[in-house]
Amino acid sequence: MLIQRWRLRTHAHPIAGRRGTGRVVLPRKAGWTYWVARETFFVGHALNAVDAKGRVSVPAAFRTQIERRTKEDGKDAEKELMIAPHPKRDRLRAFDSVGLRDLSTELRDSVADLPAAARREAHEGVRRNELTALTPIAFDSAGRMVLSPILRKLGKIGDLAFFVGMEDYFEIWSPENARIGFADNPVVLEMLDFYLEERGEA
């Protein structure tokens, strides 16, 4: 019997069924990959101001979720995010350490079925596409962090940042681009309008 973190793959074990990783006591069994439920995901949304220096606050709900996720993973609470422009360059993506590890594992799994000779090169390629643009950004106890000019430029972030939870990570949008990205989601657009009206920006 081992205490082990098992990564999600394609063969579900009867004890679980949700995406994620976690601690579980299970026998090692060849040919099995275990699905272990993660309790906390990034959910919710908020609209926060960005000042001229790029200072903005991580929403309180997301800070709580970061703390819970790291504790579930057996770690002390961390105050650092890895942030990168989305490949479409219309928003930013932010990962905590748990989400970053899961992303890294997903990238490795995405090429696992390739022949050995091609696997390493393919793995380097997907890592290059997904990981090289990540920038470590620290935040303080009040959630304040600074988005660099290059992140704001590539993510099209102006003086307002619309935060949206995406389960394993969260996104940071400008309100203008969020209207395009969520054009088929009227509920999110109504929430955005409500936040803007609260700020007198509508």
Point out the least confidently predicted range of 13-22, 37-46, 72-81, 151-160.
13-22
Point out the least confidently predicted range of 27-36, 114-123, 166-175.
27-36
Residue 10 pLDDT class (50, 70, 90 cuts): very low
User: What domains lie within the chain, and their CATH numbers?
Assistant: 1-38 (no CATH), 45-198 (3.40.1550.20)
Residue 131 pLDDT class (50, 70, 90 cuts): low
Point out the least confidently predicted range of 24-33, 45-54, 147-156, 170-179.
24-33
pLDDT of residue 73: 74
Point out the least confidently predicted range of 79-88, 110-119, 147-156, 181-190.
110-119
Residue bearing the bigger pLDDT, 35 or 118: 118
For residue range 53-68, list pLDDT tens digits in order: 999 999 999 999 999 9
Residue 114 pLDDT class (50, 70, 90 cuts): low
Nearest to 174 by CA among 85, 81, 74, 72: 85
CB 174, CB 158: distance < 8 Å = yes
Q: How far is CA 181 from CA 11, 91, 137, 149, in A?
A: 34, 9, 25, 22
Is the pTM higher than 0.85? The answer reads: no
Residue 110 pLDDT class (50, 70, 90 cuts): low
CA distance 39 to 16: 12
Give phi and psi for 15, each to the nearest 5: -80, -10
